[in-house]
Amino acid sequence: MEPEELIQIAREVKDNAYQPYSEYAVGATLLTEDGTVFKGVNIENITYDMCSHAERTAVKSAIANGKRSFKCLAISTEAEDGAPPCGTCRQYLAEFCEDSFTIYSDTGDESYEKYTLGEIFPHAFRPQNVEEATE
């Protein structure tokens, strides 16, 4: 699936976001290695600390459906020039994805920014860091 298709799906699903407090809708499309697409949106809660970002919603959906190998992620936000995942979402992605994992950020003008997880989150703390420390 092409990045443009993934971004279009993220744009469409963004309309389903529940964001009454921030009024900042985010849609995400996660593509697994086997070609399955999972969608996510941000879901807010009045307490804020219980909110779920679109990227994590998509990953949680994939995991709930037995998927653990991810190819790329596309994000569409309210920002006119696009926005990469927040730090918490980067850490969440690092739990399951390698540095080469690709992220596409919709810039709203029929183009997109392309990042790898390693570029936007170098030296991520990963499960193997804990394994190494306990050996």
Location of structure tokens 């993220």? 10
Q: Looking at the domain 3-133, which fold is it?
A: Cytidine Deaminase; domain 2 (3.40.140)
Residues in the chain: 135
> What's the pLDDT at 103?
98
In whole angstroms, what is the distance from residue 7 CA to residue 22 CA? Answer: 22
28-44 pLDDT per residue, tens: 999 999 999 999 999 99
Enter the tokens of residue 65.
């459906």
Q: Which amino acid is at 116?
A: T
pTM of the shown model: 0.92
Count CB-CB contacts under 10 A for residue 29.
Answer: 28
Domain range list for the chain: 3-133
Q: Which amino acid is at 108?
A: G
Residue 82 has pLDDT above 90, yes or no: no
Location of structure tokens 């809708």? 25
Q: Give catalytic residues, as residue numbers.
A: 55
